[in-house]
Amino acid sequence: MKTNLTKLEFDILVLLEESSSVLSQRKIANILDKSVGTINKGIASLTEFDYISNGQITNSGISALEPYRVKRAVFLAAGFGSRLVPITLNTPKPLIRVKGKRIIDTLIDAVLSAGIQEIVIVRGYLAEQFDQLLKKYPMIEFIDNPLYNEANNISSAMYASDLLSRAYVLEADLFLSNPSLIKKYHYSSNFLGIPMERTDDWCFEVKDGIIKNQKVGGLNCYQEVGISYWSEEDGTKLAEHIKEVFKRPGGKERYWDQVPLIDFANEYKIAIRECYEEDIVEIDTFRELKAFDKTYDV
């Protein structure tokens, strides 16, 4: 049995695991944007180790994917959502209904559809209101963040720091229109980003598919989306780095993602995973909420 899969082997196995029918090598090449010759070599290697047989993934192939399987999803949901006042005066932002559905439900449903059953929500503001989720999602576990009102979201990440390995970290106030963005398997740590010619929002500078810098505003960059995945190795490092930065002077004012992307950037190799504006919406202001859901425009 191979110790590690190459990225190509991983991509082929995931594609076959997700497919309900046998795929030709040409079809696989088209989907993965590779030459047929490259795909042929990858399939030959996988067949040699009995990960593929007759064009289909075997039980051994599924076992080979297991180290890359997402273990849990951690939701950061402690904040107040001040820019959505008056709606958030009585309701935490993730629980606001948009087009008839709670914002956080769009994310949880996608997580469950990907076969991820371990779900943790870090809550703070109006924490008890999140209990309503248990009726639909009894598997949810909560972590209470008592520092949500005196620190940035690094405090929420700190309270969940020991759960970041092989985990999604999701901002809980994103309205997800494309649930297929949440995957069962990941080869390496990554952040979702929207390719933009220009943005005034938080964004990434990217080179060869790897995030090189995080900043506010930029040209020909990727606008940051608050959904990321952390591998076993990176999640373990991240736990310690978050605790370290939080203890520093001014550490409570940091955003959690600045820790791996800025404070310890040289210790991580985080891939960009492309998505598009129509896939996911972050509703920051009451004006944006009214524009997105006309029932609020009264």
pLDDT of 204-255, one tens digit each?
A: 999 999 999 999 999 999 999 999 999 999 999 999 999 999 999 999 999 9
Beta strands in the chain (DSSP E): 52-53, 56-57, 72-77, 97-98, 101-102, 118-123, 141-144, 167-171, 174-176, 190-207, 210-230, 271-274, 280-282
Q: What is the reported pLDDT for 296?
A: 83
Given a contact cutoff of 8 angstroms between Cβ atoms, the answer to whether 110 and 130 are in contact is no
In terms of C-beta distances under 8 Å and separation of at least 24 residues, what long-range contacts does 34-40 make, across chains too? 34/8, 38/8, 39/8, 39/12
Residue 2: pLDDT above 70?
no
Report which of 284, 298, 293, 292 is spatially closest to residue 82, judged by C-alpha positions: 284
C-alpha to C-alpha distance for 269 and 187, rounded to whole angstroms: 12
Q: Return the pLDDT at 80.
A: 84
Which residues neighbour 203 within 8 Å (Cβ) at sequence distance 6 or greater? 193, 196, 214, 215, 216, 217, 218, 221, 222, 223, 224
| Residue-range domains of the chain with CATH | 7-67 (1.10.10.10), 69-296 (3.90.550.10)
**Cβ-based neighbours of 95, under 8 Å, separated by 6 or more:** 102, 103, 104, 129, 130, 132, 133
Confidence category of residue 63, pLDDT binned at 50, 70, 90: very high
SS3 of 241, please? helix
Q: Mean pLDDT for the chain?
A: 94
- The pLDDT of residue 3 is 63
**What pTM was computed for the model?**
0.94
Token digits of residue 195: 């390719």
What are the tokens at 119? 């779900």
C-alpha 17/C-alpha 146 separation (Å) is 42
Contact 228, 189 (CB under 8 A): yes
Residue 11 above 90 pLDDT?
yes
Q: What is the mean pLDDT of residues 50-62?
A: 94
CA 85: distance to chain centroid? 27
pLDDT in tens, 145-195: 999 999 999 999 999 999 999 999 999 999 999 999 999 999 999 999 999
**Three-state SS for 83?**
helix
